[in-house]
């Protein structure tokens, strides 16, 4: 075949501009960073934050474009440009700005300053955005791998701590298994339908009056395997076993990014697959989603309260939050509408939760980063003891963020939890709604333990000899933004509720 007959897909470069900005930022950090001496203090972080902010602003432009022209597909149906994908882009951009600010002083404190970690953040962000915008199962898998490989490297990036190396290795091995399982599920669905495009998979099931028994078995096995892969990424019980070790061993700023951006991307991808491609099989996977939701709610909350390391507590807390987001997914699955399968209260409540949780968990891990001190090892409850006396403003900020995670009224956490539970009630999933409320009460005990350690616990011998907690400028800005957002949305949520897709 002659080269003149090859025709590539038409590409809307403007719609792809946020991804190109993130990629360009990563390349600049890697290439220019490698060819120049160490940049001045804070410049790596500020450059990364500027790239993320630019991508977020372009996301707002695309939001208005979708408002005017409606959703569309890009690069020959490989990606979807709609409000869900743009919402994820903005959420990831927010998580990226917070992570870069938190990482700045951390790297210098640990003697690790350089551009590599920031470049990995940007590449992970690209993978997450591609995951959420994917209109094809192969593209979704590529996004998943870009995100995952960057996170494996980030988890192991603290070269002076053996726990970080161990964390990266565990995540790599277990994540590799989950990716393989997901890919096997994709292969089985392709075997039954002859396509990996989400819309064509949906059309194949809609046009089929009855699949052959062998094809039906292929699809069910494929759906099951894809569900396992996605549930691993969101840390749903019983696929959560990697979470506590990886969260504890990874550098604290990386843990915050992992809990916010990666979880948001995985949930949006889950909504895309379950609601956008497989609504015809909802009767088959709905009971599985229901059981996993209940296990995650109860398991995350109960396992969190018996931990002594604050990072492990927050790891199991993130499992519990994944349970609340699964409440929204379960509600979305219950209310599947074949004519418009991706728009309902359940999916909207999940998207709202991802943004609120990204800001919440970013601020929380910013405080943990400060309290971890040099060596990043003082992240048990003893490390927080007496923080209310030595750093009252920092302790107060942490208290606000913990109360929000517990779902106390007048905080953004309450709005997030209320919306997913309301979505469940609207589709008459009363059992899940009740279990979610009970789980929230159990999890509140965990946050109370951290607050007691900060404000009430008596000083012990040697406390005065510990390295003092420092709050550098960018870290303080991150915590302040997180607290202000948490309280503002808790008191006046309507601006956010009005725009969530």
In a domain, 405, yes or no: yes
Say whether 353 sits in a helix, a strand or coil: helix
Task: Report the domain count for the chain.
Answer: 1
Q: What is the pLDDT confidence band of residue 208, given thresholds at 50, 70 and 90?
A: low
Say whether 72 sits in a helix, a strand or coil: strand
Q: DSSP state, 136?
A: B
Half-sphere exposure of 19 (CA within 13 A, CB side): 22
198-207 confidence digits (pLDDT tens): 888 888 877 6
DSSP labels, 167-236: HHHHHHHHHHHHHHHHHHHHHHHHHHHS--BHHHHHHHHHH-S---HHHHHHHHHHHHHHHHHHHHHHT-
Strands 72-74 and 79-81, by their bridges, are antiparallel
CA distance 376 to 355: 27
Q: How many helices (H) and strands (E) does the chain have?
A: 21, 2
In a domain, 4, yes or no: no
- Say which residue, 212 or 188, is predicted with more confidence: 188
411-420 confidence digits (pLDDT tens): 999 999 999 9
Residue with tokens 């791998």: 145
Average pLDDT of the segment spanning 272-281: 86
- Say which residue, 109 or 58, is predicted with more confidence: 58
In a domain, 5, yes or no: no
CB 326 within 8 A of CB 292: yes
In a domain, 9, yes or no: no
In a domain, 266, yes or no: yes
Q: Given a cut of 60, is residue 252 above it in pLDDT?
A: yes
In a domain, 347, yes or no: yes
In a domain, 3, yes or no: no
- Say which residue, 263 or 9, is predicted with more confidence: 263
CA distance 469 to 476: 12
CA distance 28 to 123: 12
CA distance 70 to 343: 14
Average pLDDT of the segment spanning 404-425: 92
Q: What is the pLDDT of residue 463?
A: 67
Expressed as residue numbers, the domain containing 77 is 15-499
In a domain, 92, yes or no: yes
Please return the burial class of 44, using the count of CB atoms within 10 Å of its CB with bins 0-12, 13-18 and 19+: buried
Give percent of the chain above pLDDT 70: 94
The pTM of the full predicted model, rounded to 2 decimals, is 0.93
Say whether 73 sits in a helix, a strand or coil: strand
Q: DSSP state, 493?
A: -
Average pLDDT of the segment spanning 390-410: 92
Mean pLDDT, the chain, whole residue set: 88
Q: Given a cut of 80, is residue 257 above it in pLDDT?
A: yes
């Amino acid at each position: 075949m002659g080269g003149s007959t090859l025709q590539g897909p038409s590409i809307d470069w403007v719609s792809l501009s946020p991804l190109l900005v993130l990629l360009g930022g990563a390349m600049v950090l890697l290439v220019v960073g490698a060819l120049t001496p160490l940049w001045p203090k804070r410049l790596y972080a500020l450059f990364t934050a500027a790239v993320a902010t630019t991508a977020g602003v372009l996301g707002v432009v695309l939001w208005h474009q979708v408002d005017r022209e409606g959703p569309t597909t890009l690069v020959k149906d490989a990606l979807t440009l709609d409000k869900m994908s743009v919402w994820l882009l903005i959420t990831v951009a927010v998580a990226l700005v917070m992570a870069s600010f938190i990482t700045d002083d951390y790297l210098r404190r640990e003697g690790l300053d350089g551009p590599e970690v920031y470049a990995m953040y940007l590449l992970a962000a690209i993978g997450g955005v591609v995951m959420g915008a994917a209109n094809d199962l192969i593209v979704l898998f590529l996004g998943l791998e870009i995100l995952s490989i960057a996170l494996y490297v980030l988890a192991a990036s603290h070269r002076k701590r053996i726990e970080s190396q161990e964390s990266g290795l565990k995540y790599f091995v277990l994540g590799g298994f989950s990716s393989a399982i997901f890919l096997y599920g994709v292969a089985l669905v392709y075997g039954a339908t002859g396509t990996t495009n989400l819309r064509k998979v949906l059309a194949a099931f809609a046009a089929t009056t009855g699949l052959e028994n062998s094809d039906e078995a292929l699809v069910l096995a494929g759906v099951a395997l894809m569900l396992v892969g996605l549930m691993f990424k969101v840390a749903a019980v019983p696929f959560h076993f990697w979470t506590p070790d990886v969260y504890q061993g990874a550098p604290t700023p990386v843990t915050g990014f992992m809990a916010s951006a990666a979880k948001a991307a995985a949930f949006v991808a889950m909504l895309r697959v379950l609601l956008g491609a497989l609504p015809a099989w909802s009767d088959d996977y709905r009971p599985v989603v229901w059981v996993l939701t209940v296990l995650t709610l109860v398991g995350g909350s109960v396992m969190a309260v018996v931990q002594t390391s604050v990072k492990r507590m927050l790891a199991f807390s993130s499992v519990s939050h994944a349970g609340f987001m699964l409440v929204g997914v379960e509600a979305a699955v219950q209310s599947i509408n074949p004519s418009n399968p991706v728009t309902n209260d359940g999916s909207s409540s999940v998207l709202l939760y991802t943004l609120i949780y990204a800001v919440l968990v970013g601020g929380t891990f910013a405080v943990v980063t400060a309290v971890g001190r040099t060596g990043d090892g003082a992240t048990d409850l003893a490390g927080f003891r007496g923080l209310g006396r030595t750093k009252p403003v920092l302790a107060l900020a942490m208290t606000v963020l913990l109360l929000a995670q517990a779902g106390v009224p007048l905080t953004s956490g309450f709005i997030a939890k209320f919306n997913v539970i309301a979505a469940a009630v609207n589709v008459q999933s009363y059992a899940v709604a009740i279990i979610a409320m009970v789980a929230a009460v159990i999890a509140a005990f965990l946050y109370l333990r951290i607050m007691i350690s900060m404000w009430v616990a008596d000083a012990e011998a040697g406390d005065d000899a510990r390295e003092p907690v420092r709050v550098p400028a960018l870290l303080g800005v991150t915590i302040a933004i997180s607290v202000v957002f948490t309280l503002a949305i808790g008191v006046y949520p309507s601006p956010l509720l009005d725009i969530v897709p």
